[in-house]
Chains A and B, each alone.
Chain A
Amino acid sequence: MGAQKKRAAAAAAAARVSEDPDDLARQPLQAILLADSFTTKFRPITLERPKVLLPLVNVPMINYTLAWLEAAGVAEVFVFCCAHSKQVIDYLENSEWFSQPNFTVKTIESHNIISAGDALRLIYEQNVIHGDFVLISGDTVSNMSLTQALQEHKERKKKDNNAVMTMIIKKSKPSPITRQSRLGTDELFMAIDPNTKQLLYYEDKADHSKGTICLDKMLLAENPSISLHNDKQDCYIDICSPEVLSLFTDNFDYQHLRRHFVKGLLLDDIMGYKIFTHEIHSSYAARIDNYRSYDIVSKDIIQRWTYPYVPDVKFCGNRATKLERRGICFTAFNSEIEQSRSAQVGSFTVIGYGTKIGSNSKISDSVIGEGCTIGSNVLIEGSYIWDNVIIEDGCELRHVIVCDGVIMKAGAVLKPGVVLSFKVVIGERFVVPAYSKVSLLQQPTVHDSDEELEYADNSSGTVEFSSIQGTADQSNGEMTSESSEAHKPKLGTGGVGYIWSICEGGQEEEWRHSVAPIPEDKLTELSEAMDDDQELVTQDRTALSTSGELISDSNASEGDDNEDSKDDSVYFEKEVEATFLRAVEENVKVDHVILEVNSLRLSYNMTSADCAGAVFYSMMKLAIKTPHSSASELQQNTANIITTWQKLLKSYLLEIDEEIEIILKFEEMCLESAKEFSPLFARILHILYDKDILQEDAILRWADEKEGADESDKVFVRQSEKFIQWLREASEEED
């Protein structure tokens, strides 16, 4: 009995720890259990019952947490109740937890608390925590042994008084396609010092569209080695020193345990508080954060990863069940069920006490609660059906959650991802669309699309609840009478309940966090999108390099590839043009523009001829863009621009070759992109000559080169024939 020994060892070790004379933590280990997650992810169910009391494989979640705390050697637990505190306290009072020897459970109740931070501040004020404590929320399932983590924590604390918290992490690979963990939470990036296990960086909201995460350079400067993980799962089990509570009190704006507290401590280098991690390997720990993790953790429990907290081993609050072999896999059964001979109950299924299953029904991968009645020809696949549900003949349920007391009339169909809250009635042959949430309560009108609002919203939720409760009670009466008219169109004949409109994040988010597996088409869509993303990223990189902020792209420096170099020159031209236009608009000094263009030239490995061409091209482009009514006006504009920017152009005209390049470029422009210039070719050439941009040698050489060309190419030579003639004569005269 390994686990037994482990427990015994844990108990013994706990005893040893407390016996340690110089240890200040002589008193028994304490724990704070937050029986409220301060989020709204389980709505609409959590409007009627607190999350910690929702059944997880037929046992309320809080029992897993408490059973684990007890086994891990915790002596005193403070259960902090907020939303539906009465229900939680009532449940605990009637459970076995209050009568355990060596394990005390105390409740702390408060109604105006809206976040974990507030809760911890309140507990600090009550002054009940005296030593190190375990901070956990009531929706965590684990079977780990705390001994080692606790000991490490205490030893660190002895050496370094600033080591205030040890966070439990576990390896779990995120999906590369959806960028979320198994449990449906966002991919988590952590930087950990491999030697000291100190947590250096924590980011669960990385922006994947960017494809980058940012680390502070100081991290690298201060720590010689850092291991960066994205395959670690945060178990939300923290071993804290009492300082944590006072830290929360000091920083009254800390609300969220991770987002504010952990990140706050990591960023704050004045106080120098440190957080460490403890990785667990063979044991299990996970927190139920959303419907997807509800599904996954349930399956992990059925697959016995959480042993000994499994359906057929008795721990507090579950009835004895028996495993039966179905095929090669196992199914947990209660001995007191009525099952028709022709019903097929498949593997990985748990069926609760007193449930009846009709003939020819098929059930697989599902959890069915106590006292349910399932008709014949019903198909149930991957679903969670709670207590006292009535499912009439011919219904189909795939990957759904059905709460207590729901009635499904004959032939009703639930599409994947549906959540039916308490006592909803689905009419005959009604098909509930995928991902919809149905409740007897109307959707609260406060829409909280922003996650930050969760806190605020939750407070209103708790206040609002009492009123809703009242109306619900009334409306329950009304509903049964009126519902036939009022809700007929909504949930079929005889249906009772409201379909909540999907608000938060829209459909996009629904499939991520629902109980249903991610549909195939979504996955392919995503993986395609990811491929696109990657392309985008590579494009981005070239785009980045064109902006010249990065050192030259390898493509450009190789330069052999014609395609690439052509591309490059196009990019280069565009860049130069952009730079030039900006210079014109912002009145940048000519010298600065020259600098910028030079840097571009270096990064693209261009010759000064290219630069000259590009600059000239940009100037001409600008001229043509400046509003003008006639050719003469255009000529005037061009002349102005050339006068203003001649210094820029001249800095690249070191030799005759560059000047010829300009003429060729101009010619090309006149032929292709800027035909307006073609009649003005000769005149502009003249202007350029006047401004000393072009020397007569260059023009003559150009004319000579064009001698042998085709007639079509000679258009501009002929146009400027007079000018050339004049130049020739002038030069002869000089001679």
Chain B
Amino acid sequence: MPDTQALVMTFLTSLKNATARQTAELLRSVISQQRVPYTNQAGALIDAVKAVGEQLIAANPVELAVGNIVRRVLHIIREEDLSLTTAAIGELNLSAVSDDENDDDRDGNTTLSAAAVAAAARSTLRPPSLQTLLEDTPVSAAVPQTSSSGAADKSSRSRKLKHDVIEAVNELIQDIVTCHEQIAEQAVEHIHQNEVILTLGSSRTVSEFLFAAKEKKRSFRVFVAEGAPRYQGHLLAKELVARGLQTTLITDSAVFAMISRVNMVIVGAHAVMANGGVIAPVGMNLVALAAQKHAVPFVVLAGSHKLCPLYPHNPEVLLNELRSPSELLDFGEFSDCMDFGSGSGSPLLHVVNPAFDYVPPKLVSLFITDAGGHNPSYMYRLIADYYSADDLVVQRRAIAGN
């Protein structure tokens, strides 16, 4: 697929701005350009998406949203295929072991016993549940079987599958685009008259949320912790004031002193993990701890594309990113501290600038996603709705096997 390859290359070069939406759009074009074979259409699509998705994830592993979208798209393909298959099953008597030779190239599961195939077919037909998530199903077995259907309506089905998938991906893109608004719609339910809200740094979701509450004539105050070392809180304060909100800017280290006057902490997130833990800009754990100490609700706003089906202890997950020390201090001023030319040659001064913090689920009071408010312990359920267990590891066999 040379065309898509070029697209992927463009994406990789502009990868630094890789947002969820762009990922979805890219995958949509991958799907639409993928030539679908007569058999195993879903398998072909999944392979194509996985191949591209793997590159995307490897290119910037810290941007979890990219991986999330890849998995969402894979899930969509499976779902659509499943609905088609269930429809087809009604008409045809499914013979489970028909097209095995077609699957040779994929995983060489020709030796699968009929029983295993039947079990796999069953699991495919079952709606996603906690059990399927935990069950150790043979990953490959789930998909190929679905293609085994009569040749009569193949062409129409293949078109239909592709069409349906693209439709669903479009919906997903729409969801991502509107997620800020959908979250903001819930603002009035959470922000009440004369409350004091504290936030850290700047997040578009949070600012939209606050603006929405303001537009509904709620009057409240906002404390903004500046969010060192990037000080995006300064920008947020500016925006808030422009909208006529009473704003107080504080340093991050003053959070504990101010928290007793705060009614609610509302923050954005970089990613929400499967256990309900949050990966958020550095300094967030400090805010969460302060909030817990004073029993202030700690509310995290996150679009559903930020829900990550992985656990933070998963070695796949790159939890943090160390950024350039120049955000902390001026290289020129400290250049004499970093003269490796004398002494032992090893630097005595080391500047660490992590981008993210991990906030454990027990410190979070509420998640607000575009699907409504959720308890941290409910996150796994949302994730089961959005993702297939088969896709958690987006990596092709050959590499995983080594």
Contact = CB atoms under 8 A, between A and B. Distances in A.
B27 to A, nearest CB: 19
B335 A171 contact: yes
A2 B230 contact: yes
A178 interface: yes
B350 A314 contact: no
Given A303-B350, A305-B324, A3 B16 contact: yes
B322 A296 contact: no
B145 to A, nearest CB: 33
Contacts of A523: 342
B130 interface: no
Interface stretch (B5-13, B161-169, B189-197): B5-13
Contacts of A283: 326
A323 B61 CA distance: 12
B336 to A, nearest CB: 5
Interface string A349-379: 0000000000000001100000000000000
B111 interface: no
A399 B331 contact: no
A516 B10 CA distance: 42
B344 A517 contact: yes
A1 B318 CA distance: 15
Contacts of B9: 99-101
A102 B13 contact: yes
A173 B335 CA distance: 6
A19 B271 CA distance: 37
A143 B230 CA distance: 17
B353 A304 contact: yes
A284 B330 CA distance: 10
Given A4-B16, A101-B10, A295-B340, A304 B332 contact: no
Contact of A304 (B16, B322, B336, B340): B322
B345 A365 contact: yes
A282 interface: yes
Interface in A573-618: none
A696 interface: no
A516 B340 CA distance: 9
A304 B13 contact: no
A518 interface: yes
Given A282-B330, A523-B342, A320 B58 contact: yes
A258 interface: no
A48 interface: no
Contacts of B16: 1, 3-4, 7-8, 308
Interface residues of A, number: 61
A314 B60 contact: yes
Given A70-B13, A99-B9, A322-B318, A399 B345 contact: yes
A292 B58 CA distance: 34
B339 interface: yes
Nearest to B402: A336
Interface in A163-208: 170-173, 175, 177-178, 180, 182, 184
B17 interface: yes
Contact of A382 (B10, B63, B345): B345
A330 B325 CA distance: 14
A396 to B, nearest CB: 15
B347 interface: yes
B401 interface: no
A171 B330 contact: yes
* Range class of the B interface residue count: 35 or more
A267 interface: no
A646 B230 CA distance: 85
B341 interface: yes
B51 interface: no
A346 to B, nearest CB: 9
Interface in A10-38: none
A320 B332 CA distance: 31
Interface string A287-329: 0000010011001100111111010111000001011000011
Contacts of B345: 295, 365, 381-382, 399, 516-517
Contacts of A666: none
Interface in B283-327: 318, 322-327
A299 B347 CA distance: 8
B13 A100 contact: yes
A348 interface: yes
A299 B350 CA distance: 11
Nearest to A323: B322
A103 B325 CA distance: 29
Contacts of B353: 304
Contacts of A365: 345-346
A281 interface: yes
Contacts of B338: 182, 299-300, 303
A173 B338 CA distance: 10
Contact of A348 (B325, B327, B347, B351): B347
Contacts of A100: 9, 13
Interface in B340-399: 340-347, 350-353
A231 interface: yes
A284 B318 contact: no
B133 interface: no
Contacts of A295: 340, 345
Contacts of A323: 322
B341 A178 contact: yes
Given A101-B13, A320-B58, A172 B341 contact: no
A322 B324 CA distance: 16
B117 interface: no
Contacts of B13: 70, 100-103
A102 B347 CA distance: 39
B329 to A, nearest CB: 10
Given A101-B10, A101-B13, A322-B318, A2 B340 contact: no
B342 A518 contact: yes
A180 B340 CA distance: 13
Contacts of B323: 2-3, 304, 307
Nearest to B230: A2
Contacts of A314: 58-60
Contacts of B336: 173, 175
Contacts of B105: none
B333 interface: yes
Nearest to B350: A329
A517 B344 CA distance: 7
Given A102-B13, A303-B351, 5 more contacts: A182-B341, A281-B332, A303-B347, A307-B322, A329-B350
6 contacts: A3-B324, A281-B330, A304-B324, A320-B61, A329-B350, A516-B345
Closest 5 CB pairs of A and B: A171-B332, A307-B324, A517-B345, A4-B16, A172-B335
Interface of A: 1-4, 7-8, 70, 99-103, 143, 170-173, 175, 177-178, 180, 182, 184, 231, 281-284, 292, 295-296, 299-300, 303-308, 310, 312-314, 320, 322-323, 328-330, 347-348, 364-365, 381-382, 399, 516-518, 520, 523
